[in-house]
Structure 1
Amino acid sequence: MNSKIEKLYLNCPEIIQNVLISISGLREKRLRYNGIYPQFYRSISENFKMDRQQQEQYQIDQLRRLIYTVAPKVPYYRELFSQIKLPSPDKFQLSDLEKIPILNKQVLRCQPETFLSSDANKKRLITIHTTGTTGTPLKVFCNAEVRQKNYAFFSRFLDSVGIDPAGSRATIGGRLLVKGWQSKPPFWRYSFFQKSLLLSSYHLSDSNIGSYIEILRKKKPSYIDAYPSSVYSIADYASRNRISLEGITDAIVTSAETLLGYQKELIEETFRAPVYDQYGSVEMCVFVAQCRSGQYHLHSDYSYVELLNEKGHKAAPGEEAEVICTGFINDVMPLIRYRIGDRVLTPSWEQKPCECGSGFPLIKKILGREDDVIRTPDGRKVGRLSGVLKGYPVREAQFIQFKADEIEILIVKDSQYNSYTEKSIIDEMLKRTGPSVKVIIKHVDSIERGKGGKMRHVICNIKPE
């Protein structure tokens, strides 16, 4: 929403805002679910059943199409491919992909137009911007057909866990729905044609959450789609105040932030509903989602993903890995071997068919952004910091680092928090960093959200050497 339209919208009465949001929602619905969406959804609906060999052949076919048919129409790749030797299309194998250099985000950020295909109809171009939580936002180009493919994958995920993609939903996200200084409800608006209750993530506080619970109980959405930190705030409030959330919804879908173990546990406990986490990107080059068995599956018909360790080699079982991805659905702006900046943990066991019946590869855990780590004076990267707080009466926390030998932890205390809690948290942190790091704890009333209403659990301002 541009600034003029946003200003006009925010100054309208509530009933007009609901009308405007409903009209916008109708346009979005048509853009997302018409066109090639029905046919494409049907074409991918059975891919869950592909075995490993079928998946590999599917990916080889997609990569051949991308590299030899789509990429040559893109200025960046046309120049790059003139400098490297690739085999003929009929001889191309997955191992040949390594001959193409990894694409860093900074290159894409500085020259996005060079990744735009000459086949793209500029009159039908759609430009999407990332939220830019860690820097300058990225510009991503696509068209309606690409968006329809993307939503077909999301609908397939919903359907696979028993959620009706066309059902009613409540969305708690970073959309600016009401003025930031508004102190009384409603902090939500309703998109009639999408059957969607839109709730502001910016106004979640102990003084307001009760009203969120009331409207959710009244609407009873089929599922809730939310940032983990947002729906966790509601669950935490309900738990502390002994408020039952059972029956409000059938399921909860989280995305856009890293879902931490303690968050999922409390959300499921208070809502008495399953949580299914989904990981994707605005660049549309990776799609990972939990199944009914709670396992993360890498949807291998969406993209080809390489999981590489710090040395740039294929990560071993149980090893942390960075995500390098090649998307299959956006021919308008194809990204090949793109370093997306996120980390995952590979399974520590030999992969076997999942209980859910899907043959898609497994990922043990989504660890979050590559820069969601603390850097120690001796050069180590320390991640997975949620374990520092596990079992302690802390409602929210954020780890901040400005100096290599000093870490600041912002903590929103629970009522049982005491001096022993604080000492224990410091001890847990030092177990990971070593005694050369000073740990400072600051108590705050709330953790500030970043752009798009997202919360970052770790902010490291130390640049890698």
Structure 2
Amino acid sequence: MSRGGPLRRLTYYLGAFHKRRLFQQGLRESTAADRWTADEIRAYHDRRLTELVRDAAAHIPFYRDLYARAGVDVARFSGLADLPQLPTISKADLLEHGPRMVRPGVSELRIVRHTTGGSTGTIATLASQRGIASYENGCIFALWSRIGVRRGDPIVTLRGALLDGGRRLYERDRLEKRLTISTYHLKDDTVDEIVRLIDDYRPKWLHVYPSALTLLANILQRTGRRLASPPRGILCGSEAVYPWQIELFRTVFGCRVYSHYGHGELALLGGWCEGAMTFHFLPNHGYLELLDADGRPITAPDQTGELTGTGYLNWVMPLIRFRTADYGAWDAPGPCPACGREHQRLARIDGRGQEYLVLRDGTRFPLTNINALHGMFFALIYRFQFVQDVPGRATLRIMPAVELTPPRMAEIRAAFAYLGPLGLDLDIVPVPDIPLTRAGKQRIVVTSEDLARA
């Protein structure tokens, strides 16, 4: 044994203990927040926002200068009522001012840096205190527990892992009872081994990127294969899950589908409750606003706005009124009819701003409205991607799974023909490959510039 061996083991176990403690804290506090009344939630936000804004203005150069230029009297800031007075920020600020958004004087030993935005082609570097991911994982587990997930349940993960530089198909974590399968290997010639791995592991849950599970579900449906022991549920995250995907997953895997919303910037976290597919946002994690294109708050249900978050977890590089480029709409006001929680709720999240097509008159057309995305379409293709550079015209790139004979191409074109009268001319082009992003995700709507940069 090397002389440094015992020290390394001690460091490992101390680190694991610290992560476990933060995980339990996130789980405990998120579970407790489920029982808060509306008045308790409002008082919590008032207190946390006041502390956060005053602290940021006093200690972080970016916010001190931002609020001074905007004429904000931080000493008089008192929470929710004053929040609209503050300027919003966006990923452009992270790119341009990132170093000035980090709290000075914090030891690098206490900081973790990571990138976000690889799926959009605009990569920003974020800084946070060590352990923040463990706390958020506890928050996510609190969301999952609403539908019966328990510690120790075996889970299969399909979430963009590139294992051993792409040389390995899967990886087992016996301590966490997790089997990770590389999304880069989801192909017809590996499906037998993947099905065998999942059947042998007998997971209770599949934790997935929806785009990754869509690929596996398409292969299973097209080849007539099925899992020997269906999971209890599918846990979607990191991407919008569309109605056609939910229908596909239920058909192929025969279980319930659950989704939560979060992002690498750590400003917001919310998930469906046990009785409704509406997103309940955890108050202990952050505060949610919906803003229109001019930055005005949206309060009416069913009116689409940009999710704008103020996160409570990251004190090293806090994000205050961060515009996420994701869009959604409020649910009806009041407690959730299904579970009674008083959390902020969204009836839907439409996904990122680029997950719209733009019609000739400038109207944004969400992918949730494209009803040609159904079983027939997925029986013929591996992946698809829309490319749009100008309003009213787009190209649908499809990666064939079978030979696309003229009758099959005619069938696909006929399924999308209804988009023309709505204001979108669509060209459909077979391509040999549609690469995944560095994170193993699939972008659904891109521009020609995105493709050239990839």
What is the one-letter code of the residue matched to 2:19? Y
Rounded to whole Å, the distance in 2 between the matches of 1:333 and 1:308 is 23
Counterpart Cα distance in 2 of 1:300 and 1:74: 24
- Summarize the alignment of residues 213-224 of structure 1 with structure 2, pairs less than 5 Å apart: 213-224=195-206
Shift in alpha-carbon separation, 1:423–1:271, aligned structure 2, 3 A: closer
Residue 32 of structure 1 deviates from its aligned partner by 7.0
Task: Tell me which moved more, 61-70 or 131-140.
Answer: 131-140
* Structure 2 residue 319 is the aligned partner of structure 1 residue 335: yes
Q: Would the alpha carbon gap of residues 218 and 248 (structure 1) be closer, same or farther in structure 2, given more than 3 Å must change?
A: farther
- 1:273 matched residue in structure 2: 255
Q: Residue 361 of structure 1: CA displacement?
A: 2.4
| Alignment partners' CA distance in 2, 1:168 and 1:84 | 51
1:452 maps onto 2:439 in alignment: yes
Matched residue SS, 1:393: helix
SS of equivalent residue, structure 1 residue 123: helix
Q: State the alpha-carbon separation in 1 of the partners of residues 14 and 71 from structure 2.
A: 43
Please point out which of 411, 434, 441 is paired with 2:428. 441
1:59 and 1:162 map into 2 onto residues whose CA distance is: 29
Match 2:175 to one of 182, 193, 198? 193
Q: Which of 253, 275, 283 lines up with 1:300 in the alignment?
A: 283
C-alpha separation between the residues in 2 aligned to 1:405 and 1:45?
46
Structure 2 letter corresponding to 1:238: L
2:389 corresponds to 1:399: no
Q: Flag the 1:39–1:287 CA change in 2: closer, same or farther, 3 A.
A: closer
Contact 1:394/1:411 (CA < 8 Å) preserved in 2?
no
Which position in structure 1 is the counterpart of 2:398?
411
Matching of residues 162-177 of structure 1 within 5 Å: 162-177=148-163
1:319 aligns with 2:306: no
- Aligned: 1:240 with 2:222: yes
Which secondary structure state, in structure 1, belongs to the residue aligned with residue 420 of structure 2? helix
TM-score (norm 2): 0.86
| In structure 2, C-alpha distance between the alignment counterparts of 1:133 and 1:447, rounded to whole Å | 14
Instruction: Tell whether 2:127 aligns with 1:141.
Output: yes
Question: Residues 18-167 of structure 1 correspond to what in structure 2 (within 5 A)?
Answer: 30=16, 33-86=19-72, 92-118=78-104, 120-167=106-153
Shift of 1:126: 0.6
Query: 1:131 and 1:79, CA in 2 relative to 1: closer, same or farther beyond 3 A?
Result: closer
Mapped pair 1:428 → 2:418: yes
Q: Could you report, residue by residue, the CA deviation over 1:235-279 in whole angstroms, capped at 9, with x for unpaired residues? A: 222223332326242221111222111111121222222111111
Which secondary structure state, in structure 2, belongs to the residue aligned with residue 45 of structure 1? helix
Paired AA for residue 124 in structure 1? R
CA contact (8 A) 1:48 1:358 kept: yes
Task: Judge conservation of contact 2:118–2:437 (CA < 8 Å) in 1.
Answer: no
How many aligned residue pairs are there? 431
| Cα distance in 2 between the residues matched to 1:91 and 1:130 | 30
Distance, in Å, in 1 between the alignment partners of 2:20 and 2:314 is: 17
**In structure 2, distance between residues paired with 1:440 and 1:368:** 23
**8 Å CA contact 2:26, 2:139 repeated in 1:** no
Give the match for residue 211 of structure 1: 193
Q: Which 10-residue stretch deviates more, 333-342 or 285-294?
A: 285-294
Matching residue's letter, 1:191 = D
Separation of aligned partners in 2, 1:258 and 1:158: 17
> Residue 291 in 1 paired to residue 239 in 2?
no
Percent identity, aligned pairs only? 22
Which amino acid in the other structure matches residue 291 of structure 1? C
Which residue of the partner structure matches residue 338 of structure 2? 355
CA drift of 1:340 comes to 1.2
